[in-house]
């Protein structure tokens, strides 16, 4: 027999004819210290092999290469130095029976060290961005890390409103004879997903702990489960779940070791990173689609109206925030609609598309603009999710006043005789989607007679609520900025857009939409 004795710590490891992984946690160092070496018995002698770790290991003062799978032999009294922090002495309590190597005998291949298996698992999940493909690759690699486990499963939470509801698992079985896993215990799910102090649970299913739901009918099954939570900084990540291992399907079972608990917790952290990448790429794809929907809603050109020059500027924020505008020509001019949907990204884009398509459809069927928006209001109010939109509707007619209606939207600025001022206009109605039956009575509009050179500026709250590094809103300086701008429509709109971007240092928290209607005749 033999043993390893620490020369500077109270640690002693008895050796048997089997492999022993040396790690910091087992040698008096912190638990997170990596696996650095393996001592194994081969051909009648103990040998030391360095595992792939960035830690220098020496035997009798000579460095041991991590590339050598054969390792170096240990003789009585050999000294082992690991990372300059651990000093061991190899002692033989009984002389080892040496076996001379024979050219005719091919030694069996050494089992792959667990560190290597974990690296393979990390590589398997480290580059995946597709959920289904990633799980198909991760589960077999995970099971290889635990030779005494018969089945690995991953349960994902797909109902954000129910923290303990988990979808049917994706799983991998070592044997096809092993049963499929059933539903996960809601009580255990609640402990793992909602209790920050509980990240791993190790239990035998026949334990008499109250409330533990049996996962299989096999009373001897032992399970190890860990939570998977992406580190997104959000209170409720879009994807999270539980990874579990159990001994079902094997002949006999044994409890998992403390090393197993550390490994599954590390594996769960890697799976959390995988889910974070999946969610990120899903969000990126949804964002790209939402942006395309938003762009498709913007009119390719503004219809010409005699006596008016109309310019529009749209500056998207980092996320789709719900701004839209539309022009629909009529016999004497055009109807103009500008709005801002609550919410962001893909849901906001869908609501934008619904508003514009419904508005256009009812106008095309002969309805008036107010009746068309009443239909929009009813349709949005029927949604289960509370989605609404502020809007301004204007009737721009050649030779007549411009009449507009505010549906919870910001009042416009008017330039009259060269002076800009904010119009004091009460809203005509609640925002679209809040359930007001707007076609039950007349909607109060506000009419403005524009003389030559006069203008109306309609905008979204991305203009007034754009904030600078100090948190100050652009709306507090809008009057002074407008007073200093040129009068030509296109240069004025460009200069106003540039002033907002300069104020916010190029980073907009919300979409910016400007529509400037100028009387030129």
Go through 382-409 and write b for each residue having 16 or more CB atoms within 10 A of its CB, e for each that does not: eeeeebbbbbbbbbbbeeeebebbbbbb
Q: Which pLDDT value is given to residue 220?
A: 40
Q: Which pLDDT value is given to residue 283?
A: 73
Nearest 5°: CA angle at 144, between 172 and 256?
Answer: 95
* 103 belongs to a structural domain: no
Higher confidence at residue 316 or residue 9?
Answer: 316
Residues 84 and 126 in one domain: no
* 64 belongs to a structural domain: yes
Per-residue pLDDT for 408 more than 70? yes
Per-residue pLDDT for 2 more than 50? yes
**DSSP per residue, 94-113:** S--------TT-PPPPPPPP
DSSP H or E run through 89: strand 86-92
* 150 belongs to a structural domain: yes
Q: Which pLDDT value is given to residue 236?
A: 45
Question: Mean pLDDT highest for which of 118-127, 208-217, 289-298, 481-490?
Answer: 481-490
Q: Which pLDDT value is given to residue 184?
A: 73
Per-residue pLDDT for 238 more than 70? no
- Could you tell me which of 268, 122, 275, 278 has the C-alpha nearest to residue 198? 268
The gap from C-alpha 217 to its chain's centroid, in whole angstroms, comes to 36
Task: Please name every residue paired with 22 in a beta bridge, in sequence order, or none if there are none.
Answer: 37
User: What are the helix (H) ranges across 434-488?
Assistant: 461-464, 478-483
Q: Domain containing 43: what range?
A: 2-92
Higher confidence at residue 514 or residue 510?
Answer: 514
> In whole angstroms, what is the distance from residue 369 CA to residue 164 CA?
47
E strands in 12-56: 12-15, 20-23, 35-42, 45-50
Model confidence pLDDT, tens digit, residues 365-395:
888 888 888 888 888 887 756 778 899 999 9
**Which CATH number characterizes residue 398's domain?**
3.60.40.10
> In whole angstroms, what is the distance from residue 174 CA to residue 197 CA?
31
Q: Which pLDDT value is given to residue 234?
A: 45
E strands in 398-519: 402-407, 413-416, 419-422, 446-448, 455-459, 512-519
The pLDDT > 90 percentage for the chain reads: 11
**Which CATH number characterizes residue 68's domain?**
2.60.200.20
Per-residue pLDDT for 118 more than 70? yes
Range of weakest confidence among 125-134, 310-319, 347-356, 415-424: 125-134
Q: Which pLDDT value is given to residue 217?
A: 33
> In whole angstroms, what is the distance from residue 202 CA to residue 197 CA?
14
Looking at 231, 255, 284, the residue that finishes a domain is 284
* 97 belongs to a structural domain: no
Per-residue pLDDT for 19 more than 70? no
DSSP H or E run through 228: strand 222-228
Residues 83 and 154 in one domain: no
Residues 304 and 436 in one domain: yes
Model confidence pLDDT, tens digit, residues 154-197:
888 766 556 556 667 777 877 766 667 766 777 777 777 777 77
Q: Which pLDDT value is given to residue 455?
A: 92
Residues 149 and 268 in one domain: yes
Residues 238 and 304 in one domain: no
Q: Which pLDDT value is given to residue 34?
A: 59
Per-residue pLDDT for 317 more than 60? yes
Higher confidence at residue 15 or residue 126?
Answer: 126
Residue 501 phi, psi dihedral angles, 5° rounding:
-65, -40
**Which CATH number characterizes residue 166's domain?**
3.30.450.40
Per-residue pLDDT for 475 more than 60? yes
Region 350-375: mean pLDDT is 86
* 101 belongs to a structural domain: no
Question: Mean pLDDT highest for which of 195-199, 254-258, 330-334?
Answer: 330-334
Summary mean pLDDT of the chain: 76
Q: Which pLDDT value is given to residue 337?
A: 93
Tokens found for residue 106: 């091919």
Per-residue pLDDT for 97 more than 60? no
* 100 belongs to a structural domain: no
Region 29-45: mean pLDDT is 67
What angle do the packed helices 258-297 and 131-144 form, to 10 degrees? Answer: 170
Contact assessment for residue 315 and residue 501, using Cβ atoms and an 8 Å cutoff: yes
Residues 346 and 477 in one domain: yes
Q: Which pLDDT value is given to residue 252?
A: 55
**DSSP per residue, 388-417:** -EEEEEEEEETTS-EEEEEEBPPPPEEEET
Range of weakest confidence among 117-126, 216-225, 256-265: 216-225
Domain count, the chain: 3
- Could you tell me which of 173, 57, 49, 175 has the C-alpha nearest to residue 111? 49
Residues 308 and 280 in one domain: no
Length of the chain: 521
* 276 belongs to a structural domain: yes
Task: Please name every residue paired with 325 in a beta bridge, in sequence order, or none if there are none.
Answer: 338
Q: Which pLDDT value is given to residue 100?
A: 44
Q: Which pLDDT value is given to residue 422?
A: 93
Task: Please name every residue paired with 35 in a beta bridge, in sequence order, or none if there are none.
Answer: 23
The pLDDT > 70 percentage for the chain reads: 74
Residues 59 and 190 in one domain: no
- The pLDDT-based confidence of 35 (bands split at 50, 70, 90) is low
Q: Which pLDDT value is given to residue 393?
A: 92
- The pLDDT-based confidence of 87 (bands split at 50, 70, 90) is confident
- If 0-12 CB within 10 Å is exposed, 13-18 middle and 19+ buried, where does residue 415 land? buried
Tokens found for residue 519: 């009387």
Residues 16 and 77 in one domain: yes
Q: Which pLDDT value is given to residue 458?
A: 95
Contact assessment for residue 498 and residue 488, using Cβ atoms and an 8 Å cutoff: no
* 14 belongs to a structural domain: yes
In SS3 terms, 477-505 reads as HHHHHHHCCCCCHHHHHHHHHHHHHHHCC
Residues 252 and 388 in one domain: no
Looking at 257, 284, 311, the residue that finishes a domain is 284
Higher confidence at residue 110 or residue 346?
Answer: 346
Q: Which pLDDT value is given to residue 162?
A: 60
Task: Please name every residue paired with 425 in a beta bridge, in sequence order, or none if there are none.
Answer: none
Residues 50 and 179 in one domain: no
Per-residue pLDDT for 219 more than 50? no
What angle do the packed helices 345-364 and 258-297 form, to 10 degrees? Answer: 30
Per-residue pLDDT for 76 more than 50? yes
DSSP state of 7: S
Residues 324 and 181 in one domain: no
Q: Which pLDDT value is given to residue 215?
A: 36
The gap from C-alpha 301 to its chain's centroid, in whole angstroms, comes to 37
Region 196-222: mean pLDDT is 50
Contact assessment for residue 433 and residue 389, using Cβ atoms and an 8 Å cutoff: yes
């Amino acid at each position: 027999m033999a043993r390893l004795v620490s020369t500077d710590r109270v640690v002693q490891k008895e050796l048997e004819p089997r492999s022993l992984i040396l790690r910091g946690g087992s040698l008096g160092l912190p638990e997170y210290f990596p696996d650095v070496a393996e001592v194994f018995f081969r051909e009648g002698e103990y040998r030391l092999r360095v595992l792939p770790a960035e830690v220098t290991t020496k035997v009798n003062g000579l460095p041991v290469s991590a590339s050598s799978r054969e390792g170096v032999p240990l003789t009585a009294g050999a000294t082992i130095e690991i990372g300059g922090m651990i000093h061991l002495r190899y002692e033989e309590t009984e002389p080892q029976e040496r076996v001379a190597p024979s050219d005719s005998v091919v030694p069996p291949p050494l089992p792959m060290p667990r560190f290597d298996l974990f690296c393979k698992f990390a590589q398997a999940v480290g580059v995946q961005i597709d959920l289904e493909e990633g799980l198909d690759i991760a589960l077999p690699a995970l099971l290889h890390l635990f030779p005494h486990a018969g089945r690995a499963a991953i349960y994902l939470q797909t109902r954000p409103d129910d923290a303990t509801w988990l979808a049917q698992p994706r799983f991998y079985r070592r044997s096809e004879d092993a049963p499929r896993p059933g539903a996960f215990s809601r009580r255990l799910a609640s402990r793992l997903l909602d209790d920050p102090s509980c990240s791993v649970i190790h239990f035998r299913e026949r334990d008499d702990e109250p409330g533990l739901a049996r996962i299989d009918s096999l009373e001897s099954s032992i399970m190890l489960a860990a939570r998977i939570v992406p580190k997104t900084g959000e209170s409720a990540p879009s994807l999270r779940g539980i990874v579990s291992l159990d001994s079902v399907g094997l002949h006999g079972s044994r409890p998992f070791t403390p090393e197993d608990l550390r490994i599954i917790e590390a594996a769960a952290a890697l799976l959390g990173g995988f889910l974070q990448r999946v969610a990120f790429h899903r969000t990126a794809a949804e964002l790209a689609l939402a942006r395309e929907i938003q762009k498709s809603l913007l009119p390719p050109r503004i219809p010409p109206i005699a006596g008016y020059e109309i310019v529009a500027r749209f500056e998207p924020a980092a996320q789709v925030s719900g701004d839209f505008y539309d022009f629909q020509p009529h016999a004497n001019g055009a109807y103009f609609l500008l709005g801002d949907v609550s919410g962001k990204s893909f849901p906001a884009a869908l609501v934008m598309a619904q508003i514009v398509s419904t508005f256009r459809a009812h106008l095309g069927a002969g309805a008036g603009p107010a009746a068309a928006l009443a239909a929009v209001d009813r349709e949005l109010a029927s949604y289960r999710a509370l989605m609404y939109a502020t809007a301004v509707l204007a009737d721009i007619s050649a030779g007549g006043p411009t009449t507009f209606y505010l549906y919870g939207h910001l009042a416009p600025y008017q330039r009259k005789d060269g002076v800009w001022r904010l119009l004091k206009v009460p809203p005509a109605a609640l925002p679209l989607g809040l359930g007001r039956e707007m076609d039950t009575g007349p909607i109060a509009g506000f009419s403005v007679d524009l003389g030559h050179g006069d203008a109306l500026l309609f905008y979204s709250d991305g203009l007034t609520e754009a904030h600078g590094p100090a948190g100050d809103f652009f709306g507090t300086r809008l009057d002074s900025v407008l007073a200093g701008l040129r009068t030509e429509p296109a240069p004025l709109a460009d200069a106003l857009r540039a002033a907002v971007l300069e104020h916010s240092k190029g980073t907009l928290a919300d979409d910016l939409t400007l529509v400037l209607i100028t009387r030129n005749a």
